[in-house]
Amino acid sequence: DYGSPGSPGGLVGDCYGGHAFWDAEQMIWPNLLMFHPNIAKDVLQYRFHLREAAGINAARAGKAGLKFPWESAVSGYEVSPWGPAAREIHVSGDVSLAFWRYWQASGGMQWLHEVAWPVLRGVATYFASEVVTTSVGNLAIRDVVDVDESAGQVDNSAYTNAVAKLALTHAVKAASLLLRSQDIGANWTRIAKALPIPFSHEKKLHLEHESDSDGTGLGVIMLQYPLDLPMEPSESNRHVRRNDLIYYASKQVSSSAMYWWTVAVAWLELGEIDLAAKIVDRMSQNVRGPFYAWSEGSGPWGCSNFITGAGGYLQIFWAGYAGVRLTDEALLFRMPRIPPDTSSLTLRGLTYRGSRLDVRITPATISLKIQSASTHAPALFVTHNTLSSWVPLSPVLEKSFPVEGVVQVATADQMSVGLTKMK
């Protein structure tokens, strides 16, 4: 048995044919991961079950590894009627990232070995086979469809290259954890480091692809969240992040509910609360009717029950305002804050490593306690970036910290590397 990752239109009507796209892994599924991990685990079985078809997709394209289809149904083969869809290959990176995120949240080594590893290795193998060396010795992935589909087929899409870099990096990490380093490509680490993310030194911002573009920039903004693409925490990079947001958000006129959620989360990470609040208000225009269903657009077009929009909107609150991030070493709360015109923000049942947490954020403090824990859940400990010690989380007493800074939750095994990794 295996679940379904969900379609952008949910179970109502025939929007997008009920098929699965990248919406599932990037907009909808993360909410299940953080609050309903058992459902999230079942959903991943859909991609795992169809990995043989993904292998055939890659072979038909003359590549190795696993190539998941842009538009997927029951077979796992490409079912999109749109010809260029076969080159919207970032979806394989989106799938790989979801499998790695589940491991970060659960820590399940048996699952990593039996379920995640074949997918992580297969997608990394595929992206490695897509990389070519240019005449001047640089690496490139060519002729892909970017997140901004209107750009046509381009070279070195920022988003596609970013998920490829992450897929290769995570496969190498998984191989190390599973003592299977002999089963990875000798050049994977080099490719992950050298594959470029296009950048304009003149404008001091990232480009959608190798050629300067005037597109939506959605893929560029998603480098900040949900990809959390590693960047040095310096003021210069904060400046670049801000430039990316200002440049692309100012050019975006679409009312699509798919776009604005990641902009809001990115603004919140930079501390721009007022700018994020305007986006939250803007997105509310896509909520319609007596049942408050999400519409794909603010006008009469697109899905009338757009689960993608609802999923992105929810992430604004736990990833944006609460600052929740998963890393290999811990669960983080980065500069948590409350939404405007509220007195507190509560996350009930936020799940990490088998324990469900209740998290309460006020203007001054963030408080955490364990709501419940599975039978074999490891003990959890918590600290703040201003402290040098950890305290155990319990179901009895809340542990409170100032909202300024970063709160970190980890197991005993993770604590040895915890404080040095905090940003």
Q: What is the pLDDT of residue 232?
A: 47
Once rounded to an integer, what is the mean pLDDT over residues 386-390?
94
pLDDT category at 295 given cuts 50, 70, 90 is confident
How distant is the alpha carbon of residue 20 from its chain centre? 16
Once rounded to an integer, what is the mean pLDDT over residues 332-357?
97
Q: What is the pLDDT of residue 230?
A: 74
pLDDT category at 18 given cuts 50, 70, 90 is confident
User: Rounded to whole angstroms, how far apart are CA atoms 266 and 319?
Assistant: 10
Q: What is the pLDDT of residue 234?
A: 55
Q: What is the pLDDT of residue 420?
A: 43
What is the DSSP track for 275-337? HHHHHHHHHGGGEETTTTEE-SSSSS-S-SS-HHHHHHHHHIIIIIIS-EEE-SS-EEEES--
DSSP E strands in 86-234: the ranges are: 131-133, 139-141, 144-145, 153-154, 199-200, 205-206
Residues 316-339: tens digit of each pLDDT: 999 999 999 999 999 999 999 999
- Other C-beta atoms closer than 10 Å to the C-beta of 289 total 9
User: Rounded to whole angstroms, how far apart are CA atoms 286 and 296?
Assistant: 7
User: Rounded to whole angstroms, how far apart are CA atoms 209 and 107?
Assistant: 35
Q: Is the pLDDT of residue 252 over 80?
A: no
pLDDT category at 231 given cuts 50, 70, 90 is low
Residues 255-274: tens digit of each pLDDT: 788 889 999 999 999 999 99
pLDDT category at 2 given cuts 50, 70, 90 is low
Global pTM? 0.95
Once rounded to an integer, what is the mean pLDDT over residues 22-35?
96
Once rounded to an integer, what is the mean pLDDT over residues 4-18?
80
Contacts of 102 (CB under 8 A, 6+ apart): 33, 37, 40, 41, 44, 111, 116
Long-range contacts, 394-397 (Cβ 8 Å, 24+): 394/369, 394/370, 395/369, 395/370, 395/371, 396/369, 397/369
Q: What is the pLDDT of residue 416?
A: 72
Catalytic residue IDs? 149
Is 423:406 a contact under the CB 8 Å cutoff? yes
Residues 78-107: tens digit of each pLDDT: 999 999 999 999 999 999 999 999 999 999
Q: Is the pLDDT of residue 235 over 80?
A: no
Q: What is the pLDDT of residue 215?
A: 83
Q: What is the pLDDT of residue 423?
A: 42
Q: Please report, rounded to a whole number, the percentage of residues in the chain having pLDDT higher than 70.
A: 95
User: Rounded to whole angstroms, how far apart are CA atoms 346 and 395?
Assistant: 16
Once rounded to an integer, what is the mean pLDDT over residues 298-310?
83
The average confidence (pLDDT) of the chain is 92
